[in-house]
Amino acid sequence: MGGIALVGALALAACGSDNNSGSAGSSTSTGAAGGSSSSAAVTGTINGEGSTAQKNALDEAIADFTGENSGAQVNYNATGSGAGITSFNGGQADWAGSDSALKTEPAEGASSSETAAAKKRCAGNDAWNLPLVAGPIAVGYNAPGVDKLVLTPQLVAQIFQGKITRWNDPAIAKVNAGVTLPNQKITVFYRSDESGTTENFEKYLAGAAPQDYTATPSKKWSGTTGQGAAKSAGVAQGIKSTAGGIGYVEWSNAKDNNLGVAQIDNGGGPVQLTAESAGKAVAAAKADGTGNDLRLKLDYATKTAGVYPIVLVTYEIVCSKGLDAAKLPVLKSFLTYLATADTQKKLADIGYATLPESVLTKVNTAINTIS
């Protein structure tokens, strides 16, 4: 590690000064008052660990970021949110990627809460949850002959709970006038592993269709019908190979497998899943933390037109203070890069939502005060 950093530093000293004047940090920074600290190329190595949901986004951002900052090395190990937080709190990771904000209540069997453990790790300073990557969850389906499908939260809940079992059920037909629905059994696919995608999908059902969905959202799927497959790739593969299949997957998986993606009608008209419509859900979310701790509370039942409500907001969990001084510039610079409108637009191409300006401004303010 030391060797790599040293070689990187030498390489930068030799040829770095003349080709990085246009570093992304400053040229595209959105509303960051003091963002100038990241304008010069940075050197050093930082290691992050956590959520698999943001892996593709971070891989893309890291490749671009290190392309512009040849002396910086950013590693992200997608082991899962829980493992990421454990590593972060244990000091092995410099930041954690997580599908949910740090929990403020101690979990059963743990002596302290995640927030408290993170505070200890940050030498007594608060850890912040920064929403930087948002992934829409698609309701992917494979119903022969159905190109466009509209579902209400009630229908989604009933289908995934096994109360509606056939595609040509009158309830589905009612909101899909003009569509020929096949007389076919619905096969539900869910995640068999514990996953933030499951938890957020269940939170949506509990928030938008409380009469039809009564279980408590958790990382483990609560339904009693269908079959579970491993990871989003397994679910997408299951839907693809089963006529009549339906399941919830990260949007990129639905796109990669050419699955049909249902439009969601929360009450304000059917909304197609796009990077923008999903980004609007994040913009509409209420702040749930204090100050620069930007944990969000999504309004799943929103009836605002044009908002796609099933979104998984993933956080980068960082120390507000107390991180190793050698790593700080790289981390800040990388996070700033992630929070630019340009980067967010690029992420839309690989299946993530575009975070709107209003969210990015707040995130940038927070990043700038990290010290």
Partner 1 sequence: MSSITGRSELDAAPSGDLAGSTSRRGDRIFAGLSVGSGAIVVALIAAVAVFLLARAIPSLTDNSANFLTDRVWNPGGSPPQFGIPDLLWVTVISSIVAMVISVPVSVGVALFLTQYAPPRLARPFAAAIDLLAAVPSIVYGLWGAYIVLNYLNSIQSAIGRVFGWIPLFHNDQAIPNSIFAGSVILAVMILPIVTALSREVFTQTPAAHKEAALALGATRWEVIRTAVLPFGRPGVISASMLGLGRALGETIAVLFIINTVPTFSWSIFSGGETFASRIARDAGEFDTPQKTGAYIAAGLVLFVLTFAVNAIARVVIERRKDFRE
Residues that bind partner 1 (CB under 8 A): 52, 79-83, 85-86, 107-110, 114, 192-195, 218-221, 223-230, 234, 237-238, 241-242
Considering the complex, what minimum distance in angstroms separates the CB of residue 358 from partner 1?
Answer: 31
Q: Are 250 and 53 in contact (CB under 8 A)?
A: yes
Tokens 């740090």, located at residue? 102
Q: Please, which residue, 31 or 217, has the CB nearer to partner 1?
A: 217
Which amino acid is it at 70? S
Considering the complex, what minimum distance in angstroms separates the CB of residue 288 from partner 1?
Answer: 20
Considering the complex, what minimum distance in angstroms separates the CB of residue 73 from partner 1?
Answer: 24
Which CA distances in Å does 309 have to 4, 103, 105?
44, 23, 27
Q: Please, which residue, 187 or 263, has the CB nearer to partner 1?
A: 187
Q: Please, which residue, 229 or 307, has the CB nearer to partner 1?
A: 229
Q: How far is Cα 367 from Cα 371, in angstroms, rounded to an integer?
A: 9
Q: Please, which residue, 85 or 285, has the CB nearer to partner 1?
A: 85
Residue 191 bridge partners (DSSP):
229
In this structure, the strands spanning 72-77 and 44-50 are parallel
Considering the complex, what minimum distance in angstroms separates the CB of residue 90 from partner 1?
Answer: 12
Helix, strand, or coil (residue 139)? strand
Which amino acid is it at 79? T
Q: Please, which residue, 8 or 247, has the CB nearer to partner 1?
A: 247
Which amino acid is it at 260? G
Closest to 254 in 3D by CA, of 354, 142, 345 = 142
Considering the complex, what minimum distance in angstroms separates the CB of residue 191 from partner 1?
Answer: 9
